[in-house]
Amino acid sequence: MPARYCEVALPVPLRSTFTYAVPESLEGKLNGQPLIGRRVVVPFRRRAMIGVVLAESAKPPDITRAVSAGGGAAAAPAIREIAEVMDPVAALPPKLIELGEWISRYYVAPVGETFRAMLPPDVEVRHDREYSLTEAGSAYLDALAQKLTLADEEREEAELLRRFDPREAEGESRGRRKRVDEAAAEALVRRGYLAARNVLRHRQARTQKILAWNPAAPAVKLDARAEEVREALTSASGPLPLHVLIAKAGVSRSVVERLENAGALSSWDEPLTPGEDPWDTDFTPPSNVLNAEQNAALAEIWRWLVAGKFAAGLLHGVTGSGKTEVYLGAIEATLSRGKSAIVLVPEIALTLWVGRLVRARFGEHVAVLHSGLHDTERAREWWRVRHGEARIVVGTRSAIFAPLENVGLIIVDEEQESSYKQEETPRYNGRDTAVYRARLEGAVALLGSATPSLETYHNALAGKYQLLQLTSRVENRPLAAVRIVDLREEFRRQHRATPVSESLRAAIALRLEEKTQAMVLINRRGYSWSLMCRGCGALVQCENCSIALTYHKSRQRLECHYCGYSIRPPKQCPKCNSEYMYYVGDGAERVEEYLREQFPAARIARLDRDTVRTKREYQQVLGAFAKGEIDILVGTQMVAKGHDFQRVTLVGVVAADLALGRPDFRAAEKTFQLLTQVAGRAGRGELSGEVLVETYYPEHYAIQYAAQQDYASFYEKEAQFRRLLHYPPFMALASVLVRDRKVENAIRWSRALAAYFAPFEERGVKILGPAAAPLARLRRDYRFQFVLKSPHRAILGKALAGALDFCAANQFPETAVIVDVDPATLS
Ligand code: ADP
Ligand code: ZN
Ligand code: ZN
């Protein structure tokens, strides 16, 4: 009869945990240590799976209620046993288990998939136990030495202890080199004679090989396998680490080597450790003396930290007001109180930027976590944090799950960014999770932004978050002047539409003369938005999605930005065979080409996902721009954020109103934020800056208030609409999507769900739909959508959790229904 039973969360899309017994063979090694938070390997259906223990008890579970992990229809399933315990310590500390349970409840996400998102990657990381002799241990050794005769046991103990005795010749190094009998050593640890700590074994190899297709390659005849490699490196994704390439292309290492020898591939080594970022070497951090506003904000944060309780604050500071300095000061205060800190940034590129500043200031105790890291590397950083080797974690969304203990501060920079919302299960928002984690830890949550989300500003006005403001730029630099270019008027004057308006072209020409720099933002990749038939008016659409394909000229492809489907541009309309096809809408590639035509002598670069694929390339482009080696930088919103360029005096925004046309309640907010952020890129140095915003809707309030950089007025106007139309922050919102390859199924399940939801109308949940989703077809699935709104979050939560139970009871496939609580977008 086993002594213990565990509830294990497994990475399967089911909303329950599974019960396993701890076999005696394991108990022997565990010595009664608790299992909560530890990763275990268990049998599940016919496979072995890694899960995490959420609870344990001495009583066997009520068999009739227990969920069978065995599958099948057995009446009283036998409880299966844990096969293996993976790590010497609990992977998840107790606070993170609580956090995971909250996420699973709040976002109605399967518990196992939630915890999978919180655990380190399943790669082997070697943990070693390092022992040292305690004072009690050396006293005991001395006592044994006094004795005339020793029992066998005592002799063995003395021998083992002596190996860790620094007084012995070579004592320490011998103890380390020879294998230690762990069971015996652990027994001595329990008696207090040895101290133990877990360390990670560091591997020597710290670089990985990156391969790229060599466009200047001598003509090599490509066989099918070589073609796979070319495909993987060119149209699919760009340069890749060797192991990823092999997996992606499905070829063996020798195929890659052969191509490399033939000169078709070029390769280089990239460091694996963010701590060894090549940018770090010649970097001296700015040493700024805080101004009065920064000091006042920091003093307030100090007070919250000293109080040692949960507090949430919004640091609302205009672009260029020096929020980063306040963050750094707050981290310093946190460390000085013996606590640790997490800094979330909205994208991988910013982990480099911010990570560098933080490392320059606080040295080695910094870990960087983001999804762009190779699994092994992420696992290593993760365990470094878990073992207490890092006290500050800088990372993207999922770094909110960093296994730090004793957290005193969580910073969320650019808290309004939609990249904090995960668009797959579990669909959590990193910002809101940060606030909840701070609450659990009794820590300070500090949200920073120049353009706070409506939700956060609403919370600040309501007194839920405390509001700190930085109202002016550092050293009283003026905000950039914003000029709106009315494209309708331009067209009336010019009678032709160019990729860049005449006003913007002239402004760029001026910068080239002055020898300062310009940035041009165009939030669309590719050359043309779509290919249209003049015969029938149809756009060439994706085969799998209800969306027009984007034309990429350099690759000569039409591509779907949703599913990756791509074809050669057809000469004739696929619908009516007309030969009159033409391209509509200019993207970043076209804008770059146009600027090259207009300014043949200028040094122009483009920064978007088509031109930069690796961290290294991204750094190279931005580094060159920062050094003044580029005159004009064209890019998508990648260029809009965070970076601090001193010689940029002009920012042009092409098609600024693109987002306004989308059927999304956040369209105005997104537009306002983007324009304000990008305006913040101009005039950050000594030189003052100008921003040109091209639009067909110059009178729209999002554009007007962004031009005036007037957040408060924008908030007021937008809040009015949200209140009127029952949207967040005045209502809790959720979307439920029903999807299937077969349209009949999607319709049938939607109808059934509609019937299930109907009674909730009376309980204060407004139910819209089912209606065809804005993307009615995506990756071959037909999609129908419900939108649920309620002033009562608890009832909304009940309706959603109940809906999933209903779907399970009616055997809808697990993938057919997607629930999104607090969705970032409805389109
Ligand atoms: P924000 O994030 O608020 O837009 P940053 O934190 O990036 O602004 O700061 C903008 C620039 O101002 C940076 O170059 C930073 O080094 C500088 N800076 C910050 N604080 C001060 C200060 N007190 N005096 C002078 N320069 C400062
Ligand atoms: Zn046609
Ligand atoms: Zn598609």
Nearest CA to ligand 1 atom 24: 288
Paired tokens of 743: 């349209």
Least confident of 276-290, 365-379, 486-500, 639-653: 276-290
Of the chain, the end-to-end C-alpha distance in Å amounts to 55
**How many distinct helices (H) and strands (E) make up the chain?**
25, 33
Q: Is 291 in the pocket of ligand 1 (CB under 6 A)?
A: yes
Q: Which two tokens stand for residue 600?
A: 């043949």
Burial annotation 502-525 (CB, 10 A radius, 16+ → b, else e): ebbbebbeebbeeebbbbbbbbbb
Q: Which residues pair with 80 in a beta bridge?
A: 20
Q: Which atom of ligand 1 is nearest to the CA of 680?
A: 4
698 ligand 1 Cβ < 6 A: no
Ligand 1 binding pocket includes 317 (Cβ within 6 Å): yes
Nearest ligand, measured from the Cα of 677 = 1
The reported pLDDT for the residue numbered 66 is 46
Q: Is 294's C-beta closer than 6 angstroms to any atom of ligand 1?
A: yes
Q: Strands 84-85, 39-44: parallel, antiparallel or unpaired by DSSP?
A: antiparallel
- Is 677 touching ligand 1 by the criterion CB < 6 Å? no
Q: Return the structure tokens found at 380.
A: 């290593």
Asked if the model's pLDDT at residue 365 lies above 90, the reply is no
Average pLDDT score over residue span 189-209: 70
Indicate whether 283 pLDDT > 70: no
Classified as helix, coil or strand, 552 is strand
Residue 334: its H or E element: helix 323-336
Q: What percent of the chain has pLDDT over 90?
A: 55
The C-alpha angle with vertex 506 and arms to 503 and 510, in degrees rounded to 5, equals 140
Ligand found nearest the CA of 626: 1
Does residue 623 contact residue 538 with C-beta atoms inside 8 Å? no
- 320 Cβ below 6 A of ligand 1: yes
Binned at pLDDT 50, 70 and 90, residue 207 comes out as low
d(CA 598, CA 373): 40
- The better pLDDT of the pair 491, 718 is held by 718
> Predicted confidence band at 276 (pLDDT cuts at 50, 70, 90)?
very low
Q: In ligand 1, which atom is closest to the CA atom of 317?
A: 3
Please compute the mean of the pLDDT values over residues 214-222 and round it to a whole number: 70
Per-residue confidence (pLDDT) for residue 2, from 0 to 100? 76
The ligand minimizing its distance to the Cα of 574 is 2
Question: Cβ contacts of residue 495 below 8 Å, gap of 6+?
Answer: none
Q: Pick the atom of ligand 1 nearest to 318's CA.
A: 3
CA-based nearest residue to 226, from 213, 216, 238, 235: 213
Query: pLDDT tens across 374-411, in order?
Result: 787 888 889 889 988 899 999 999 999 999 999 999 99
Listed residues: CB within 5 A of ion ligand 2 = 533, 535-536, 573, 575-576, 578
The Cα–Cα gap between 118 and 398 comes to 7
Give the residue ranges of DSSP H helices in 427-569: 430-441, 454-461, 487-494, 502-514
Q: What Å distances lie between residue 224 and 228, 230, 238, 555, CA to CA?
A: 6, 10, 19, 20
The burial of 121, by beta-carbon neighbours within 10 Å (0-12 exposed, 13-18 middle, 19 or more buried), is given as middle
User: Under DSSP, is residue 351 helix (H, G, I), strand (E, B) or coil?
Assistant: helix
Average pLDDT, the chain: 87
Distance CA 826, CA 820 (A): 10
208 lines ligand 1 (CB under 6 A): no
Encode pLDDT of 433-489 as tens digits. Answer: 999 999 999 999 999 999 999 999 999 999 999 999 999 888 888 878 899 999 998
Cβ neighbours for 299, distance < 8 A, ≥ 6 positions apart:
none
Provide, rounded to the nearest whole percent, the portion of the chain with pLDDT above 70: 90
Q: Is the CB of 360 under 6 A from ligand 1?
A: no
805 pLDDT above the threshold of 90: yes
Left, alpha or beta for 328 (phi > 0: left; psi -120 to 50: alpha)?
Answer: alpha
Contact 249, 229 (CB under 8 A): yes
Would you say residue 814 has pLDDT above 90? no
Q: Compute CA 104 distance to the chain's CA centroid, rounded to the nearest angstrom.
A: 18
| CA–CA distance, 110 with 101 (Å, rounded to integer) | 10
Spell out the SS3 assignment of 565-612.
CEECCCCCCCCCCCCCEEEEEECHHHHHHHHHHHCCCCCEEEECCCCC
**286 Cβ inside 6 Å of ligand 1:** yes
> Tens digit of pLDDT for each residue in 409-436?
999 999 999 999 999 999 999 999 999 9
How far apart CA 310 and CA 208 sit, in angstroms, is 42
Residue 265 near residue 232, CB atoms below 8 Å: no
pLDDT interval class at 171 (50, 70, 90): very low
Question: Across the beta sheet with 207-213, what order do the strands follow?
Answer: 240-241, 207-213, 265-271
In sequence order, what are the beta bridge partners of 131?
196
- Average pLDDT, stretch 619-640? 85
Confidence (pLDDT) at 334:
97
How far, in Å, CA of 704 to CA of 222, rounded?
55
For residue 318, give both structure tokens.
């205009």
The residue whose CA is least distant from atom 12 of ligand 1 is 322
Our mutation pick for probing the ligand 1 site, out of 283, 324, 687, counting the most ligand atoms within 8 A of Cβ, is: 324
Closest ligand relative to 644 C-alpha? 1
Confidence band, pLDDT 50/70/90 cuts, at residue 352: confident
227 — pLDDT class (breaks 50, 70, 90)? confident
Quote the DSSP letter at residue 423.
S
pLDDT at 796: 97
pLDDT digits (tens, 9 = 90+) for 129-157: 778 889 999 999 999 988 888 888 888 89
pLDDT band for 201, please (50, 70, 90 cuts).
low
When pLDDT is cut at 50, 70 and 90, the band that residue 169 belongs to is: low
- Distance between alpha carbon 74 and the CA centroid of its chain, in Å? 42
Structure tokens at 285: 């951090």
Query: 325 in ligand 1 pocket by Cβ < 6 Å?
Result: yes
- 569 CA to middle of ligand 2, Å? 14
State residue 637's pLDDT score.
77
Q: Mutation test of ligand 1: which of 293, 316, 325, 472 has the most ligand atoms closer than 8 Å to its C-beta? A: 325
Higher-confidence residue: 604 or 365? 604
- Taken as a whole, the chain contains a residue count of 827
